[in-house]
Amino acid sequence: MTISLYNVVKQNYVVRSDEGTRFINSDEVLEHKLASERENQEAAAYGENAEGQNMAEQPTAEQVLQAARIQAGLIEGKAKDEADKMLESAKDQVLTLFEEQRQAGYAEGMRQFEEEREQLREQLEDEYSKKKDELVKEFDTRKETLENDIVDAVIQVFDKVFHIQFENKKEILIYLIKNMIDHNENDKNFHVRVSPENKQYLSEHPEIIAQEFSDQIIIDYIADPALDNTECTVETDSGVFDCSIDTEFQNLIRDIKSLC
């Protein structure tokens, strides 16, 4: 609606009151009304334009579908990002848990290893100690047996050599008779029993024994067919003494064995 300014008549209003006379300018009133009308017209025009614009900008179905696709893509991308973050976080948690379990398992494994190693060490030491004792005992037994075997072997060899070398050596028998007389100084009479062959030899060489002793002792030789060339007995006032070579040899063997 349009208001013509030509229909407006300028007027001045006079208002009286007890306070005095106050003049109202009609131009100001008119100007105020015109401004108000202008605002109403602009508002109406804006409303019509907005309504037309809204109707003109109404989206089509394809536009709505496209917008929905875009919105869905954004939502899907955001969801994928969140899922990736959750998956990465889960991986980190799994790796952390795995590392913790691995460390715990490693520590437990090392503890068990140390225990088993200590048990094995003690077991080996015990077995070593027992084996050492067994070997020492076996060695001592074998050593004793070996020593006896060696002594027996030496004696057998010595016996053979002795009889081969000294069986017919009258010097050995004479030495044994002298040694017996020398260790029995209190006896004065000596009756020497030997084989007939040795009796003949000693009778033919009485000085061999008598020259080493005083004339106060008496030595006579008796032939005894029961004796061989290695056997000899001497009868004195204090007893009978065996001066046989075999007897002396057995005494020597006994002394050798006593040293082992």
Q: pLDDT per residue over 147-178, tens digit each?
A: 777 777 777 776 666 655 555 677 888 888 88
Distance CA 121, CA 119 (A): 5
Residue 3 to residues 11, 29, 44, 47, 235: CA-CA distances in angstroms?
18, 15, 15, 20, 194
Task: Say if 112 falls within a structural domain.
Answer: yes
pLDDT grade for 95, boundaries at 50, 70 and 90: confident
Out of 166, 181, 203, a domain closes at: 166
Task: Say if 60 falls within a structural domain.
Answer: no
Neighbouring residues of 210: CB distance < 8 A, sequence distance ≥ 6: 219
Out of 146, 166, 186, a domain closes at: 166
What pTM was estimated for this model as a whole?
0.40
Phi-psi region at 239: left, alpha or beta (left = phi > 0; alpha = psi -120 to 50): left
Distance CA 221, CA 209 (A): 11
Distance CA 174, CA 212 (A): 12
Q: Are residues 172 and 252 in the same domain?
A: yes
Q: Is the pLDDT of residue 2 over 60?
A: no
Task: Say if 67 falls within a structural domain.
Answer: no
Tell me 186's DSSP state: T
Task: Say if 252 falls within a structural domain.
Answer: yes
What pLDDT, on a 0 to 100 scale, did the predictor assign at position 8? 43
What pLDDT, on a 0 to 100 scale, did the predictor assign at position 68? 78
pLDDT, tens digit (0-9, with 9 covering 90-100), for 22-80: 545 555 555 666 666 666 666 555 555 545 455 445 678 788 778 878 887 888 888 88
Number of separate domains in the chain: 3
Task: Say if 81 falls within a structural domain.
Answer: no
CB distance 257 to 151 below 8 Å: yes
Q: Are residues 155 and 227 in the same domain?
A: no
Task: Say if 234 falls within a structural domain.
Answer: yes
Look up the CATH number of the domain holding residue 174. Answer: 3.30.2320
User: Can you tell me which residue has the tokens 């007897």?
Assistant: 247
Q: Are residues 94 and 157 in the same domain?
A: yes
Phi-psi region at 20: left, alpha or beta (left = phi > 0; alpha = psi -120 to 50): left
What pLDDT, on a 0 to 100 scale, did the predictor assign at position 13? 45
What pLDDT, on a 0 to 100 scale, did the predictor assign at position 57? 59
Q: Are residues 208 and 179 in the same domain?
A: yes
CA 250 to chain centre: 61
pLDDT grade for 260, boundaries at 50, 70 and 90: low
Distance CA 153, CA 230 (A): 23
pLDDT grade for 194, boundaries at 50, 70 and 90: very high
Domain that holds residue 192: 168-258
Q: Is the dihedral of CA 43, 49, 54, 57 positive or negative?
A: negative
pLDDT grade for 12, boundaries at 50, 70 and 90: very low
Q: At what angle do helices 170-182 and 196-204 cross, to 10 degrees?
A: 70
